[in-house]
Structure 1
């Protein structure tokens, strides 16, 4: 149970903030539901499509750093309001674009919606005690499911850019109304001059958490915008079928985040992270396997054997990994709360920026490697490498911390105990 002295306001803050974040997330991922329309209208190559999908994510990633700085000096509610007002003209301008670079520029503009996570999570965290932060952040993170609006609604508005503009502008205005009218004002946090964001850039722990978030959020975001095209090209599905399968991944990975936050509160964020990476890397091992034909030279004749992952098994493995990533997104922010309880805004902004950069760079790398190697599962090979690197970094991080704890303890005991018991 969430315990707070003003639980009615706290619950209202969490509900409204999550809904508004979901709306902003839908705007941020608008292009994900329009991949085939963009390819057809602009005659895009795979690499050009990847760049266009990455444009909004790039702005959202880069802006999370100044957003983390701004929440130290201005109230998150005011900042979220300003951000939505700034995004609105980009959606209104959308029907007047007819070139690749025009769509790219407008994508960069409405990518400001990605700042909503930093503002929202800082806003919500001030209403709840430390012991509930994992669950609260996980519940707020369910707003990732807002991308379902883009995956369901945008394909129905194909080639009707005026309608896309009006619908998304209307949805964003609804979010703005809910935010201004219903979100509680909050307390006097933040205070001017509370912290500076620069010292955190010098801390290796922040970079490690950013690396973890690069995988658990960055790859989730990259797959979200990449999967509709992947399903259609790799498995020959229709737009509706590809959207339905992508929704399974999106919704399950988003909703489970709340449970991941509870697990992080109860069992520890680091333990949850270990489980996340083990499940992910095992799923990616099979997802990485491309369709392969073996020819076995038999005694009387050759035997041909086809090994491939069908769409059902692919979706199952993808969903398992998505569930793990949902746990991981919650546990990383619980780690931030554990180490930096008074600097969730700046540190969360930095870590969120690293994660969103994954959502920007990975689709481009997916497109590049797919064109270079000629098969689609190479994108999952890339993710396997990222996950393996994260596990190595986490292992040496744990080992280093245990060794430092050992040295501090032994400095008072003349180093008479064995080091073996402190090794991971």
Structure 2
């Protein structure tokens, strides 16, 4: 029963952590009425919480494996109490920076669930489970919507202090409902990092999550103040619109995980990055509030689906090192939310608009799309290569002129010819001489007409021993219909024929 409680409990923990994480960005329009800061300083105040919330995801993912989710959530929420109170009594830019740095822990707890929860479910449900846990992003929407409403009634300082009560409640919830018996993994962190850092897929996933989760975080912290300053919206209205952005991204995250459990995740990711490319391009033209809303919601949808898909891919490729890889990928995603607000603010100071920043996002998303396409076809080639190496059937591939360009281990075992002896030769090195010219003439006529030939043929090994093989020859064509290769697959049926 306690095991079944972990998914809802940890999802609620993440909601609380993310609620705390975005206190400053959600209340900034109120705070700047009491604390005088520049536009550039405001960008730093909203970006700083992302730093610790990103970098701590790596050790938190690691220590979740060692100590369990229950202990990590309890410790994290206890540590959050002092900085939350400190922010509530802040009266300077420095105070906001110091408090903001430490409330980043609220965003770092993301690594806990993606490391812990897959232990309770079979692999075919990991995408959906991580997607449901990712609904914890809703915490940012709750704060973005509720905090301004409450602050307009009781002030931003008392609003921040209410979060102390919320943290205390969930500290107790984890004490009594957390799983003390969660399986632990005690592999040293350096050993885990050494096992994955050379794998290019780790860094590709980092880039992909940098874009999807980074765009989600960046828009979450940037929208409230931007909508007020650029479109002169009411602060509560800006908060509600930001909450809508967050809600779309959050609720589509489990949808992305669910779809990734059932369809090819990389194909889904291609669609995600194409949509981000188009939406960011639209935003770069500084459209009206209506088109701006369309662009933002498209980015929300792409970010939400992409976040769900990526955390299905991680355990697929890193089953044994999922904890540390989840931490690294999650950290890169968090950092993806740190830089854009600062870059946008700097570009605005220089150019007076945000067009270059949004265009940069569109181009990075386009590059990511190209990399996903490469990864998809690269994986297919690897699978084909593994099949060729592991099959007991002899296989050879020739160019259109008939020269052998590749053989597999089974070919070498069945014929006696090693790879270097076969490459560059014609398959007639195996000819036994039993088949007459008309036999080969009919064979090639059938290949030309039907694209393949299949039948029995007598061939000869390197040691001159004849054997009967069942042979299939396929003509491999390109999109223009031109033959670019021939592939032969055969097995020795001599013993079977004699019986």
The 5 Å alignment of 1:218-237 reads: 218-237=214-233
The 5 Å alignment of 1:141-180 reads: 141-155=134-148, 156-157=150-151, 160-180=155-175
- Retained in 2: the 8 A contact 1:222–1:359? yes
Higher mean alpha-carbon deviation, 110-119 vs 349-358, is at 110-119
Distance 2:203 2:33 in 1: 40
Correspondence 1:358 to 2:336? yes
Report the RMSD for the aligned CA atoms in angstroms. 2.3
Distance 1:355 1:222 in 2: 10
More RCO (CA 8 Å, sep 6+): 1
Correspondence 1:196 to 2:174? no
Aligned to 2:7: 14
Correspondence 1:121 to 2:121? no
Higher mean alpha-carbon deviation, 93-102 vs 267-276, is at 93-102
Aligned to 1:213: 209
Distance 1:9 1:230 in 2: 44
Give how far 1:203 is off: 1.6
Correspondence 1:187 to 2:179? no
Counterpart among 259, 262, 279 of residue 266 in structure 1: 262
The 5 Å alignment of 1:125-140 reads: 125-140=118-133
Give how far 1:54 is off: 0.9
Aligned to 1:29: 22
Aligned to 2:450: none
Q: Which structure: larger Rg?
A: 2
Give how far 1:385 is off: 2.1
With normalisation by structure 1, the TM-score equals 0.87
Counterpart among 384, 395, 403 of residue 413 in structure 1: 395
Counterpart among 344, 362, 373 of residue 322 in structure 2: 344
Distance 2:197 2:28 in 1: 36
Distance 1:419 1:408, change over 3 A: farther
Aligned to 1:65: 58
- Retained in 1: the 8 A contact 2:214–2:335? yes
Which segments of structure 1 move beyond 6 Å, counting only runs of 4 or more? none
Counterpart among 385, 388, 393 of residue 363 in structure 2: 385
Higher mean alpha-carbon deviation, 207-216 vs 276-285, is at 276-285
Distance 1:409 1:13 in 2: 40
Distance 1:286 1:192, change over 3 A: closer
Aligned to 1:303: none
Give how far 1:277 is off: 1.0
Distance 2:349 2:284 in 1: 16
The 5 Å alignment of 1:46-85 reads: 46-85=39-78
Aligned to 1:316: 294
Distance 2:139 2:225 in 1: 19
Aligned to 2:280: 284
Distance 2:236 2:89 in 1: 27
Give how far 1:218 is off: 0.6
Distance 1:314 1:150 in 2: 22
- Retained in 2: the 8 A contact 1:253–1:325? yes
With normalisation by structure 2, the TM-score equals 0.75
Give how far 1:29 is off: 1.0
Deviation per residue, 1:100-138 (Å, 9 max, x gap): 122101111111112211112222221111000000000
Give how far 1:243 is off: 1.2
- Retained in 2: the 8 A contact 1:73–1:193? no
SS of 1:57's equivalent?
helix
Give how far 1:321 is off: 2.2
Give how far 1:404 is off: 4.1
Higher mean alpha-carbon deviation, 137-146 vs 235-244, is at 235-244
Higher mean alpha-carbon deviation, 189-198 vs 114-123, is at 189-198
**What stretches of structure 1 of length at least 5 have no aligned partner?**
1-7, 291-308
Give how far 1:153 is off: 2.9
Distance 2:179 2:40 in 1: 44
Deviation per residue, 1:249-274 (Å, 9 max, x gap): 11111011111111000012212111
Give how far 1:342 is off: 2.6
> Is the helix fraction higher in 1 or 2?
1
Give how far 1:152 is off: 2.2
> Is the strand fraction higher in 1 or 2?
2
